[in-house]
Amino acid sequence: MKAIILAAGYATRLYPLTLDTPKALLKVGGKPILDHILDNVEGIRAVDEVHIVTNRKFIRQFGDWKAQERRDLSLTIYDDGTTEEDRRLGALGDLQFVLDRSGISDDIIVLAADNLMDFSLSNFYEYHRKVNGSCVCVKEVKPHELTKMGIVLMDENDRIYDFEEKPKNPKSHIGAFAVYIYKKETVKLLKDYLKEGNNPDAPGNFPAWLCHKEPVYGYVFQGQCFDIGTPDAYEEVQRLYRVKQE
């Protein structure tokens, strides 16, 4: 299995914090968000490579970060060639960019670099093996969050049969988080999704399309997944991690 981490956003909502520092390299609990993610990824023994995609604006910062890393995992960093928000490829465009350049032909776990999880990705992987299908991390969310994320409907076997990104009228209280596992056969369908002219931005748009073509399962995780999208969210996560360390 290969891990792909999407880190090519510009995080304009976090300015001035992210004017010169990519969001993935902001520190929480004394180390970059990206290091927390990789610590979790390393718990999946099947993962033997990590592929990180960023943009031209931040490629140097990621290179400096990589130079300090001491991990057994193979790390590859990609520059998607964009330099500003208006020209970004979108999360799914960046995912296809990595797939095209890496030649990956294995199952993949895909993670957003601004989602900080305190649950085990190893357990998520074991669930994927159990259902033998593509999976999305899901959890019941608070009412005020329902219109800000993907919302899913699942059957009694946790198979997702409806998935809508940021719905005006949510059909359930189960939210989908930007943590995905796709089988290698499924990965090839992303190119079809993009060729059809579908939205390349939010990563949840692909499983929302995919669940109507083949089984996609919702893994109901125990714990938290923090979307660090605003200064308030970043401050809150920093506070929570300080409390954990005390």
pLDDT digits (tens, 9 = 90+) for 159-199: 999 999 999 999 999 999 999 999 999 999 999 999 999 99
Average pLDDT (59-87) is 92
pLDDT digits (tens, 9 = 90+) for 107-150: 999 999 988 998 999 999 999 999 999 999 999 998 888 888 89
Rg (CA), the chain: 17
Q: What is the pTM of this model?
A: 0.94
CATH architecture of 2-245: Alpha-Beta Complex (3.90)
List the chain domain ranges.
Answer: 2-245
Q: Residue 88 — φ and ψ, nearest 5°?
A: -65, 155
